[in-house]
């Protein structure tokens, strides 16, 4: 049995469903073809989650670099 950390338990308790508005069908189709299908085996949910995590990590790195230069 996999042992979960307290952070994982909290994250699981906070799962939400998202609805996106004002996306063109063409943009969604292109995203699915160019990003989701080849890099995430067609899993749109995994693609959005992974890309959000990456954006947060990159923002953290940029902020740390900015703080170090000031």
Q: Domain residues of the chain, as ranges?
A: 23-69
What pLDDT tens digit does each residue of the chain (70 aa) get? 445 555 555 566 788 888 889 989 999 999 999 999 999 999 999 999 999 999 999 999 999 999 888 7
Per-residue pLDDT at 14: 80
42/45 Cα distance (integer angstroms) = 9
pTM of the model: 0.68
> Could you count the other beta carbons within 10 Å of the beta carbon of residue 17?
5
Per-residue pLDDT at 10: 56
Per-residue pLDDT at 1: 47
Per-residue pLDDT at 36: 96
């Amino acid at each position: 049995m996999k042992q979960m950390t307290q952070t994982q338990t909290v994250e699981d308790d906070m799962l939400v469903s998202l609805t996106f508005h004002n996306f063109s069908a063409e943009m969604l189709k292109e995203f699915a073809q160019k990003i989701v299908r080849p890099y995430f085996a067609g899993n749109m949910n995994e693609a959005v989650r992974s890309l959000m995590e990456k954006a947060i990590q990159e923002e953290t790195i940029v902020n740390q670099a900015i703080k170090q230069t000031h």
